[in-house]
Amino acid sequence: MKELSTIQKREKLNQIFVADEIGPGGAHHEYHIVINDGKEKDIANDVVIIKFQKGPRKEKNSQHGVGNEDLLEIVRDRLKSFQDGPFASEYNAKTLEHVEEALMWLNRRVEDRIERNVLGKNIK
């Protein structure tokens, strides 16, 4: 497994690893997040495994999994909650703005693929 080089370098909570080979579309489809206990370096309390959709969603041999949109929607929900609570900040507001923009662009891609009748097919 290869550890991801993340943007945050200091005081990271967890480690993220790529757990598979590059698949269809040129991306990885399985990641492991090692949740450290914060007390002892490199001692894992738990591992969260995230499996992404691998292959067209309508093909029977595809690995069904989460999409980028799913993870972004979770982050969006959390940021909205922080903004409605005692941890509202300009940082959260800007992050929320860009997460929502990312979701908008991903949805435009889906809508485009629906219009061209290629959604769920291995066609660009």
Mean pLDDT for all residues in the chain: 92
pLDDT higher than threshold 70 for residue 124 = yes
Q: How far apart are CA 50 and CA 110, in angstroms?
A: 22
The CA–CA distances, whole Å, from 9 to 2, 4, 5 equal 16, 11, 8
Q: How far apart are CA 53 and CA 70, in angstroms?
A: 11
pLDDT higher than threshold 80 for residue 2 = yes
pLDDT of residue 57: 82
Q: Which two tokens stand for residue 62?
A: 């595809």
pLDDT of residue 70: 98
Residue that the structure tokens 């949109």 belong to: 69
Global pTM reads 0.87
Contact between 15 and 36 (Cβ < 8 Å)? yes
pLDDT higher than threshold 70 for residue 41 = no
Residues in CB range of 3: below 8 A, 6 or more apart: 15, 16, 17
pLDDT of residue 33: 95
Mean pLDDT of 73-91: 97
